[in-house]
Amino acid sequence: MAKHILISFFLLLILLQKNSAQTCTNLGQNPGTAFPVCGTTTFNQGSVPICGGTPVASECNDISYPDKNPYWYKFTCFAGGTLGFLITPIDLGDDYDWQLFDITGRSPSSVYNDLSTFVACNWSAEPGLTGASGAGTSLVRCQGLGVENFSSMPVLITGHNYVLMVSHFTDSQVGYSLSFGGGTADITDPLPPHMLKADAACDGTRLTIKLNKKMKCNSLSANGAEFSINSLSTGVIAATGIGCSSSFDMDSVELVLNNPLAPGTYTITIHNGPDGNTLLDNCGRNIPQDETVSVTVYPLIPTPMDSLTKPGCSPQTIELVFRKPIKCSSIAPDGSDFSIINGPYPVTVTGATGNCVNGLTSKIFVQLSAPLQRAGNFIIRLNRGSDGNTVIDDCTQETPAGSSLPFVIKDTVNADFTYNILYGCQQNVVSYSHNGNNTVNSWNWNFDNVQSSNLQNPVITYTNFEQKNTRLIVSNGVCSDTASISIYFDNLLHAKFEITSLVCPGDKAFIKNSTVGNVISNWSWTFGNGLSSNLKDPPPQTYNVETNTYGALVKLVVTNNYGCKDSLAQIVRVINNCYIAVPSAFTPNGDGLNDYLYPLNAYKAVNLQFTVYNRFGQKLFSTTNWTEKWDGTFRGQGMDPGTYVWILTYTNTDTNKRVEQKGTTVLIR
């Protein structure tokens, strides 16, 4: 008992320690600033500051599991498979925990409250090495002494984004190393690093270089020593990684020049910096030395109405695209900067907005009073709006009023279609038709998810006359529409009926007709007792015991107005004797004669219970199905010859009265 109390106290102490909370401020100590991971690199963390304590979403639901003294690592899966990794404490007496999250399409902070991000974990209280390996037997290892330090390797999905939290339960602040290997997934980015493009600020004093992927912030020199420009009078004096204040990596670099560049096109070249390399990606690979990218410094001229996004079907917004960013403050919210002219019908502009970031937008969305649903050629024209100007770019240049762009609107379309049926007894032929109005040039037919067609007017043959479901999708290249109908064939015909399958002498066989069909003109019954009928619902039938050795054949033939026929036949079995009785003796010797004890002819019994006892009152056999028979054994052993007691209870279906019978039967061997 004392040992159990000690263990409980120790676990309570662990729980209290795991929920201590201090704010983590260093980069890498929260999921939003996680270290970018390359699968070929070993990460060495010399020390671990004390912080954290916010519970994460975990499949371990017995207690909360916090990010205690954490560091976070982010990576993308480039080839799906299993992930293996190893966390090696510098002090093998330290206890490290970890949990893996899938944050694809989610904010990194969702790891704290979205259980669907959970992938795998190990919260063992044992010190030493931990991770995921082929030796693990479960993806979920929760807190406690004696829990295995290694979980099984989780399966990563190609293209998904993950974060791994490494939590230091021990407050020693001594660090660890993290390495990846042993699995089949690839988390190493195969894309070589390069400069992608460059843009110049309006005044020619700053250049922005866009990289083709994320690269290490610490590979960039603050003085921009990695870059040069082919200008005798202008050089790079400073460089800043965009986003490096809150992250370990960057996808853009801003260069500051000592003199403004005159309008023209220049070449930017990257070189090895003081650290002996150019810029490095997260796997430590260089942008090739002496790689170049061109940049154009434009003269201060107004930014033209460059282009617009091709309008879709029934648009109520026109999307304008500008080569240079436009100041959002120069866009009149009431849309008075724009008007729609020269169309076949009037169109009213009601507003305009930008997709604004830091007060700038490269697109302007012009709202219309109603969707444009009829075809026509239109022009959108730039006006001096209610704010006194047209639109102004980030270089404070105003685009001239009167600038315009043409655009084309397509008609909306209607997928409604017609059909005609040619009826037959073996097959029905359906001719479908669509009018093709409003320049429809694409037809996609689906017939019961079995057949398809791209014809405008397909013809389909059906040999099954059950309900048919047809769907049509039409398009004119811009607008599309869908229509669906269900077809019910008039000549559907299925002969179907139910009849009492077992009848006792003098009893009636009742018939229930459930034939399916809409235009049935003839019913033809033969009952196997010498009688026939043309009624839809014939009267009950009686049969003699000697009707037929195999029973009476009852047959229905139905004919519809199209001359089609269908038939169904069933057997009615006539029972010689429906008197319920239990034999006074039976001989379970396997000779096929009287081998079993059961209530005979219990055709008119429901809610039946048949039980057999030995002379000591021990129950040997019981059943609620009279066709289940006692074979004279109990627990696999044959019973001795002698007298056995039985009790039979049931409800008689003729009288609806409860019957209880008791008796004895002799077992003879």
**Overall average pLDDT of the 75-103 stretch:** 96
Residue 323 pLDDT class (50, 70, 90 cuts): confident
Write out the DSSP string of 372-434: --S-EEEEEEE---TTSSS-BBTTSPBPPTT-EEEEEEPPP-----EEEEE--SS-EEEEEE-
**350 and 374 belong to one structural domain:** yes
Q: How many domains does the chain have?
A: 6
Q: 21 falls in which pLDDT band (50, 70, 90)?
A: low
Q: Is the pLDDT of residue 13 over 80?
A: no
Q: Which residues of 230-245 are buried (b: 16+ CB within 10 A; e: fewer)?
A: eeeebebeebbbbebe
Task: Report yes or no on 9 lying in a domain.
Answer: no
359 lies in the same domain as 258: no
Instruction: Provide the CATH number for the domain around residue 631.
Output: 2.60.40
Residues 41, 170 share a domain: yes
Q: What is the mean pLDDT of residues 650-663?
A: 94
Helix (H) or strand (E) holding 5: helix 2-18
487, 508, 525 — which closes off a domain?
487
pLDDT value of position 176: 97
CB 345 within 8 A of CB 385: no
Q: Is residue 580 in a domain?
A: no
Closest CA to 15 of 42, 51, 55: 55
Amino acid 407: pLDDT: 96
Which position has the token pair 């660890």?
Answer: 176
The pLDDT, as a whole number, for residue 201 is: 87
Torsion of CA 82, 83, 88, 94, to 10 degrees: -90
Please tell me whether residues 386 and 325 are part of one structural domain.
yes
CATH, residue 113? 2.60.120.380
What does DSSP assign to residue 128? S
Reported as a pLDDT band with limits 50, 70 and 90, residue 659 is: very high
Name, of 36-45, 57-66, 612-621, the range with top average pLDDT. Answer: 612-621
User: In which band, very low, low, confident or very high, does the pLDDT at 14 lie, cut at 50, 70 and 90?
Assistant: very low
Q: pTM to 2 decimals? A: 0.54
Same structural domain, 280 and 394: no
DSSP 545-607: TTS-TT-EEEEEEEEETTS-EEEEEEEEEEPS----B--SEE--SSSSSS--B--BTGGGEEE
Split at pLDDT 50, 70, 90, the class of 6 is: very low
Mean pLDDT of the chain: 93
pLDDT band of 4, cuts 50, 70, 90: very low
- 540-553: pLDDT as tens digits: 999 887 655 678 99
Does the residue 8 lie in any domain?
Answer: no
pLDDT of the residue at 15: 41
d(CA 669, CA 665): 13
pLDDT at 12 over 80: no
Q: What is the pLDDT of residue 506?
A: 80
Mean pLDDT of 512-530: 94
CATH of the domain at 540: 2.60.40.10
Whole-number pLDDT of residue 546: 65
Domain identity same for 339 and 461 = no
Considering the domain boundaries, does residue 158 fall inside one? yes
Q: Assign 10 a pLDDT band (cuts: 50, 70, 90).
A: very low
Span 170-179, mean pLDDT?
A: 94
Q: How confident is the model at residue 215 (pLDDT cuts 50, 70, 90)?
A: very high
Please check whether residue 591 lies inside any domain of the structure: yes
Residues above pLDDT 90, as percent of the chain: 86
Question: What does the pLDDT look like over 221-279, one tens digit per residue?
Answer: 999 999 999 999 999 999 999 999 999 999 999 999 999 999 999 999 999 999 999 99
Reported as a single tens digit per residue, the pLDDT across 471-502 is 999 999 999 999 999 999 999 999 999 999 88
Q: Which residue from 324, 305, 374, 306 is spatially nearest to 346, judged by alpha carbons?
A: 374
Same domain as 346, residue 404: yes
Q: Is the same domain home to 349 and 323?
A: yes
Query: In terms of domains, do 550 and 605 share one?
Result: no
The answer to whether position 347 is within a domain reads yes
For residues 235 and 207, membership in a common domain is answered with yes
- Assess whether 206 and 332 both reside in one domain: no
Integer Cα distance of 631 and 623 in angstroms: 13
- Is the model's pLDDT at 621 over the cut of 80? yes
- Tell me, yes or no, whether 79 lies in a domain: yes
**Do 173 and 142 share a structural domain?**
yes
Choose the final residue of a domain: 551, 574, 597. Answer: 574
pLDDT attached to residue 16: 42
Last residue of a domain, one of 409, 428, 459: 409
Decide if 507 contacts 552 (C-beta within 8 A).
Answer: no
Which domain range does residue 654 map to? 585-667
Asked whether residue 321 is domain-assigned, the answer is yes
